Chains A and B, each alone.
Chain A
């Protein structure tokens, strides 16, 4: 089994899994019916992507692993999503800020992954890009609405951006699997996306009349399985059925 490829796929898929799970918490509780539908739809897109990635990972593992036990039966330290996506739905501004900061990255990332030598990953990227370009439009539009809306919404939006900013740098950290996959022409060199990411994010923040956070202190660790305290609770829900009723078909 190609362990680096396996780890690499998890590095991509775990982000979609955890963010999809977060968005799923909001269904039925959104600020309007339209945003409720949109967030559910984005969650649905993420889980669709997750299934493709984990099915592929299970095939590479070539043992008893399945998409479900990869998704739901690992320990907290074995999830390698970035810290950004596990942050809670504190309010709608946080949901939008988290989405926006991830979507801009995700779009750039998939655009490069489409060129991968690995045909399965390239095909998943192509399919996902269509979805993610919609996600990006949704979160960018809302960022502008809330940033350049009322005084209250501006304050909330700015607070969310300021708080989540600390998790953006990690998006561009390379893991060992990343390095190996870049070398093989399969993976994306995320370090090369950093400049264009911040340029784009900053432009949109300005357009939304928001301030670009000045803080240069960043958090990291998600890619090594060292998470914030939020992840454990999220996993308790995600894993509940698989843990309570092991080895059953649903």
Chain B
């Protein structure tokens, strides 16, 4: 293909996106579009899978049967999200094994929030309320993203996430209205998860390297800072409603902007965790790698069994 032909294809491609048409797996696409989508979608899938671990940590210790059932269902949903996000990413010409390999070797990232430990039951509430809340703000715009399989996966993911968020908030309501011990547990969880949740919306616009291109391809509709502001404005009244205090002394309603002003985020902590040195980075990866390595003989057996079965079928047919 000549350079001119490629240029013309690229122009047509960008025009389709501008017209809000969906790009489908068999359509021509620029290599950079494919790579960017593999990176973001696999990162999203990995986040779902690694995200099962901090909550999975409380399945055996959930305080009531009702909570246990809800938590199991939630973590199962996350596995399901991982599954169809991996499948959607596979349409771009990468296998699930390759994606796992990238995760296990540290080449691919996942959401840093999952590198914090879940140390009390209230963390299950805080994760649902804050982490899923921030995730929804990040993800809702993706329901209209340009790549068809991703957009369709996100519609389902978002529906389930908003259910999870309500469920998490409901755990917090119960604790906040409970005994002093329970309320303290809730406040402590909010204190620990608040700032990492703000960091989830990504680095400030000035430091975000992917934003401009991603905006064009509708992988992103608003800047990180705008999303963060939206999250804060939405969450502060929810905390007030249940009598919990946001751990930010600079937090103040700004009449003029119609938004909350807030304190300085500790970006050093953010980069420390992103670069692999958060409290749980090593443990999370070890858990994933162990599951994969310990499962190898199981996967091998399944393959061997399937091929034996196939051979028997063929023999019978002859």
Contact = CB atoms under 8 A, between A and B. Distances in A.
Interface of A: 21, 24-25, 27-37, 40-41, 43-44, 47-48, 50-51, 54, 67-68, 71-72, 91-92, 144-146, 148-150, 152-153, 156, 234, 237-238, 240-242, 245, 248-250
Interface of A is mostly: helix
Given A28-B291, A31-B298, A150-B297, A248 B65 contact: no
Contacts of A245: 63, 179, 181-182
Contact of A149 (B53, B64, B295, B302): B302
14 contacts: A21-B60, A27-B56, A27-B79, A28-B75, A28-B79, A31-B294, A31-B295, A36-B79, A51-B69, A92-B294, A148-B308, A149-B303, A153-B300, A241-B121
Contacts of B63: 68, 241-242, 245, 248, 250
Contact of A237 (B60, B174, B300): B60
A30 B65 contact: no
Nearest to B171: A250
A35 B296 CA distance: 13
A238 B181 CA distance: 20
A148 B72 contact: no
A233 B301 CA distance: 32
Given A24-B60, A40-B79, A47 B300 contact: no
Interface stretch (B80-88, B215-223, B234-242): B80-88
Contacts of A71: 65
B304 interface: yes
A28 B65 contact: no
Interface residues of B, number: 48
B65 A37 contact: no
B59 A27 contact: yes
Contacts of B287: 28-29
A167 B83 CA distance: 36
Contacts, number: 141
Given A27-B52, A51-B69, A67-B65, A152 B297 contact: yes
Interface of B is mostly: helix
Given A40-B79, A71-B65, 7 more contacts: A24-B60, A28-B79, A40-B75, A43-B72, A148-B305, A152-B300, A156-B297
Interface string B270-299: 000000000000000001001100111111
A24 B295 contact: no
A153 B59 contact: no
Nearest to B51: A28
B87 to A, nearest CB: 10
A24 B61 CA distance: 10
Contacts of B178: 248-249
A145 B121 contact: no
B66 interface: yes
Contacts of A237: 60-61
B72 A54 contact: no
Contacts of B73: 44
A238 B65 contact: no
A240 B290 CA distance: 27
B49 interface: yes
B179 A41 contact: no
A226 B62 CA distance: 25
A105 B56 CA distance: 29
